[in-house]
Chain A
Amino acid sequence: MVTDTPLEAELRALAGSVPDPELPVVTLSELGVLRDLHVLGPGRVEVELTPTYSGCPAIEAMSSDIERVLHDHGIPEVEVRTVLSPPWTTDAISAEGRRKLAEFGVAPPRPTPSGPVALRLAIRCPHCGSTDTTLLSRFSSTACKALRRCESCREPFDHFKEL
């Protein structure tokens, strides 16, 4: 990061501003999946991207979206590499990303448990703010979300699961 050139910083911001294909309210940078960007030579850029889940089908759409914005910015050669280590965690989602998720109706993830005993904070309904919510299914429309229902306003909602 310390060796970033102004061009790298500019291109990184550009790649990071690409919206997530499944949750378009958050950007790849806010989601914390854009790991690095290097300018390898004139017109040659390498981008490091990490998947949220091993089988996340969105990673291919993310790669082609990044390639497209960088091509449009005059970089003809873009290689997007997938990196696994260290594994992505929901803690990598920025504060702004969490705010946008909640506004979109998806309860943001809680901090991942750090001790041996998982601390179970209440999950807040993104519609009415009540903490009286019930788990309906551990897996929702995508692997990264669980389906819950608010017992106060009775609305179902997605919760971005801690990973």
Chain B
Amino acid sequence: MSSPSTAAALALGDDALVLSHRLGEWAGHAPVLEEDVALANIALDLLGQARLLLSLVGDEDELAYLREERAFRNTQLVEQERGDFAHTIARQLYFSTYQALLYGQLADGMGPLAPIAAKAAKEVAYHRDHAEHWTLRLGDGTPESHDRMQRGLDALWRYTGELFEPVDGLEVDTAALREGWQAGITDVIERATLTVPTGPRRGGWSAGGGRRGIHTEVFGRMLAEMQHLHRSHPGATW
């Protein structure tokens, strides 16, 4: 088995790590206790995936806690603030649909990330199921929940193009995932009586650059919170 590409492991590992942190922010704040627990469990799955991926190419703690913002390779989609519950669910729908396709293909290959992907793909199937269920419930719910769900889908749309940009050393043609992704989210969004956004996902106005270390303003603040304990108290244990 060949050694893993650092760029590929960081891209996937950072996506999982950063989204895990954003989901963890819901602990104690979700609309109902069951969702507090559900989002924390999804965050824990992602954290486990991040640890496996980052450990392939370095020390997981150093990579998570001691890198500067520009060294992170996650997409801008996962670093956005959690927003309201519908906003979080919109991101979960976009991201888990993408991750399910990506890990499914990686798992079918023979590359160094295949064993991690095979394990993660099974977990992500539950994340996607959770996102689908909530998209349907909010979209086809009250006028308030419908509007909020639509706003979440619209607001995050311009961050979705970046998911399909090529990643160095990844044995998956990410651009080829787009069609399956579009079909997957369209099916759920339409059943939820919502509208698939149509704005640009690439080009001048759309977002991107996370894979090259270019991040949005909110990411610096998130990293400060995520890293401060480790940086302020090196080697702390409890």
Name A's B-contacting residues (CB within 8 A).
Answer: 51, 53-57, 84-89, 136-143, 147, 161, 163
Known: A53-B123, A139-B130. A85 touches B37 (CB 8 A): no
Give chain A nearest CB distance to B74 CB in angstroms: 17
- A55, B46: Cβ atoms under 8 Å? yes
- A55, B47: Cβ atoms under 8 Å? yes
Provide the residues of chain A in CB contact with B114, threshold 8 Å: 85
Give the residue of A54, A57, A89 whose beta carbon is less than 8 angstroms from that of B116.
Answer: A54
Provide the residues of chain A in CB contact with B123, threshold 8 Å: 53-54, 143, 163
- A139, B48: Cβ atoms under 8 Å? no
Q: How far is the CA of A47 from the CA of B106 in the complex (A)?
A: 27
- A147, B34: Cβ atoms under 8 Å? yes
Provide the residues of chain A in CB contact with B46, threshold 8 Å: 55
- B130, A138: Cβ atoms under 8 Å? yes
Q: How far is the CA of A143 from the CA of B115 in the complex (A)?
A: 20
- B122, A138: Cβ atoms under 8 Å? no
How many residues on B have C-beta within 8 angstroms of the other chain's C-beta atoms?
27
Contact indicator per residue, chain B 23-65, by CB within 8 Å of chain A (1) or not (0): 0000000000011011011101111110110000000000000
Provide the residues of chain A in CB contact with B35, threshold 8 Å: 137
Supplied contacts A138-B133, A139-B40, A143-B123, 14 more A-B pairs, CB within 8 Å: A51-B48, A51-B119, A56-B48, A84-B52, A84-B115, A84-B118, A88-B119, A138-B130, A139-B42, A141-B37, A142-B41, A143-B41, A143-B42, A147-B34
| Majority secondary structure of chain B interface residues (helix, strand, loop or mixed) | helix
A-B pairs with lowest CB-CB distance, top 3? A55-B48, A54-B48, A137-B34
Give the residue of A84, A138, A147 whose beta carbon is less than 8 angstroms from that of B119.
Answer: A84
Q: Is B120 an interface residue (CB 8 A)?
A: yes
Residue on A with the closest CB to B107?
A87
Known: A55-B49, A142-B41. A87 touches B118 (CB 8 A): yes
Name B's A-contacting residues (CB within 8 A).
Answer: 34-35, 37-38, 40-42, 44-49, 51-52, 114-116, 118-120, 122-123, 126, 129-130, 133
Provide the residues of chain A in CB contact with B37, threshold 8 Å: 137, 139-141
- A57, B122: Cβ atoms under 8 Å? no
Known: A138-B133, A139-B130. A55 touches B51 (CB 8 A): yes
Residue on A with the closest CB to B45?
A55
Provide the residues of chain B in CB contact with A143, threshold 8 Å: 41-42, 44-45, 123
- B115, A87: Cβ atoms under 8 Å? yes
Provide the residues of chain B in CB contact with A136, threshold 8 Å: 34
A/B interface sample: 17 pairs, CB < 8 A: A51-B119, A53-B48, A54-B45, A55-B45, A84-B52, A85-B115, A87-B118, A87-B119, A89-B122, A136-B34, A138-B133, A139-B38, A139-B130, A140-B37, A141-B37, A143-B41, A163-B122
- A54, B130: Cβ atoms under 8 Å? no
Give chain B nearest CB distance to A86 CB in angstroms: 7
Question: Could you say which of B35, B37, B51, B115 has the most chain A C-beta atoms within 10 Å of its C-beta?
Answer: B37
Q: How far is the CA of A86 from the CA of B34 in the complex (A)?
A: 31
Residue on B with the closest CB to A57?
B44
Q: How far is the CA of A113 from the CA of B5 in the complex (A)?
A: 33
Q: How far is the CA of A126 from the CA of B207 in the complex (A)?
A: 50
Q: How far is the CA of A88 from the CA of B121 in the complex (A)?
A: 12
Provide the residues of chain A in CB contact with B51, threshold 8 Å: 54-55
Provide the residues of chain A in CB contact with B34, threshold 8 Å: 136-137, 139, 147
Question: Could you say which of B38, B41, B123 has the most chain A C-beta atoms within 10 Å of its C-beta?
Answer: B41
